[in-house]
Amino acid sequence: MKIVVLAGGLSPERDVSLSSASLIANALLSEGHEVALVDVYEGIESLIDLEGSFARPNSGHQFEYVVPDKAPDLDELIHKNSGRKALVGPKVIEICTLADVVFIGLHGAMGENGQLQALLDCFAIPYTGTGYCGSLLAMDKDLSKKLLRQAGIPTADWIMLDRDSDSKSAIINSIGFPCVIKPIHCGSSVGISIVEEPESLLSALDEAFKYESQVLAEKKIVGREFSVGVLDGTTLPAIEIIPKQGFYDYKNKYQKGMATEICPAPVSEEQARRLSEYTMAAHQALRLGAYARIDFILGQDGEFYCLEANTLPGMTPTSLLPQEAAAVGISYNELCDRIVKTAFQEKLN
């Protein structure tokens, strides 16, 4: 098949995306596909032949992207592109229409909130994973918690906060302390703080409101953390995540050796079954697609509380979902291949 892997974008997570998308692109090449890796924001230079942009299998071509040691300067990137604010660069749609399937290798905002999926739908271009509606629902932590509750899936009590109102009283009168403050549309634990006592609330709010104006406060669930992947309508074995220090924050997620990950997670058969049931129910309630990953914490009352759903879970070979796939004998290359084939199959149906 001919595949365009879309990555990068005008997002603070663009470098992480380009780096993991190169690994996905190489996996697809090894599986015999023709692959083009395209930065959705930068697009393709006008003189480049689009057909010639696809690397062929067995040509010895390898994609590589080294993540710079400083965060990307998005203003500089916009400046380099003549001040263009449009999120989709030149010829991106054109090259996508040449592909049998587009692999969405983006992280954060545009790839995750449904915008890109809706755009591809308008051009009848098949793409991997969740559609625009599920992407939007899963990206909004307030909306998704409402839907999870409605579907009978436990999720921690929460309230929405207003920048100007008295958050402290609102929290004391509802969920109490300790609580977790989070912006509702971020990922990678960005802007999230665990607030153990009221005195630390102010700095947590400042941090969260830095990222967006919609912030929630959620009851802190004390207990073990798990994540469960879904692939082609079934759950993968759960993985347990044990950060060496603190919670599963940005540093513990992306720096090597900061968290221990055990897959399959050491839980009882009954617990594994319950995790799997909640995951499938969440998958349905949030209208997720062929692959996704759902996060949980096991509370001290023995209940699993769903934190959120991820429609673009990390996809490096050592990320959580690929580790879960490996536990049932699906290699990283096979996993990437299956995700693409399912998307192609959906187009035929």
The site for ligand ADP (CB under 6 A) is made up of: 156, 180, 182, 186-189, 192, 218, 220-221, 225, 247-248, 295, 297, 307-308
Q: Shortest approach of ligand ADP to residue 186 CB, angstroms?
A: 6
295 sits near Mg ion (criterion: CB under 5 A) = yes
Q: Provide φ and ψ at 137, rounded to 5°.
A: -65, -45
Distance CA 319, CA 113 (A): 21
One of 89, 108, 134, 314 is an active-site residue; which one? Answer: 314
81 assigned to active site: no
Of 44 and 239, which CB lies nearer to ligand ADP in the complex structure?
239
- The DSSP call for residue 140 is -
3-state secondary structure of 77: helix
Tokens 């998308």, located at residue? 21
The token duo for 149 is 């509750």
One of 200, 254, 287, 299 is an active-site residue; which one? Answer: 254
Nearest residue to the partner ligand ADP, using Cβ = 248
**From ligand ADP, Mg ion, none, which one binds at residue 297 (CB under 5 to 8 Å depending on kind)?**
ligand ADP
**Which H/E stretch holds residue 194?**
strand 193-195
295 assigned to active site: yes
Of 191 and 322, which CB lies nearer to ligand ADP in the complex structure?
191
13 assigned to active site: yes
Distance CA 89, CA 140 (A): 26
Q: Which residues are CB-contacts of 185 (< 8 A; sequence separation ≥ 6)?
A: 109, 113, 139, 140, 141, 212, 214
**From ligand ADP, Mg ion, none, which one binds at residue 132 (CB under 5 to 8 Å depending on kind)?**
none
Q: Shortest approach of ligand ADP to residue 5 CB, angstroms?
A: 23
**From ligand ADP, Mg ion, none, which one binds at residue 247 (CB under 5 to 8 Å depending on kind)?**
ligand ADP
218 sits near Mg ion (criterion: CB under 5 A) = no
Of 26 and 193, which CB lies nearer to ligand ADP in the complex structure?
193
Q: Shortest approach of ligand ADP to residue 229 CB, angstroms?
A: 14
Q: Are 297 and 304 in contact (CB under 8 A)?
A: yes
3-state secondary structure of 78: helix
One of 15, 249, 295, 337 is an active-site residue; which one? Answer: 295
Question: How is 197-250 classified by DSSP, letter by letter?
Answer: SGGGHHHHHHHHHHH-S-EEEEEPPPSEEEEEEEETTEEPPPEEEEESSSSS-H
Q: Specify the stretch interacting with Mg ion by CB under 5 A; choose among 6-14, 44-52, 160-168, 289-297.
A: 289-297
135 assigned to active site: no
3-state secondary structure of 322: helix
Q: Shortest approach of ligand ADP to residue 223 CB, angstroms?
A: 8
337 assigned to active site: no
Of 34 and 112, which CB lies nearer to ligand ADP in the complex structure?
112
Distance CA 42, CA 11 (A): 12
293 assigned to active site: yes
Q: Are 13 and 188 in contact (CB under 8 A)?
A: yes
310 assigned to active site: yes
Nearest residue to the partner Mg ion, using Cβ = 295
240 assigned to active site: no
Q: Shortest approach of Mg ion to residue 219 CB, angstroms?
A: 16
13 sits near Mg ion (criterion: CB under 5 A) = no
With helix as H, strand as E and coil as C, how does 60-104 read? CCCCCCCCCCCCCCHHHHHHHCCCCCCCCCCCHHHHHHHCCEEEE
Distance CA 103, CA 324 (A): 20
Which sequence positions are flagged as catalytic? 13, 188, 254, 293, 295, 308, 310, 314
Give the binding site for Mg ion (CB under 5 A). 295
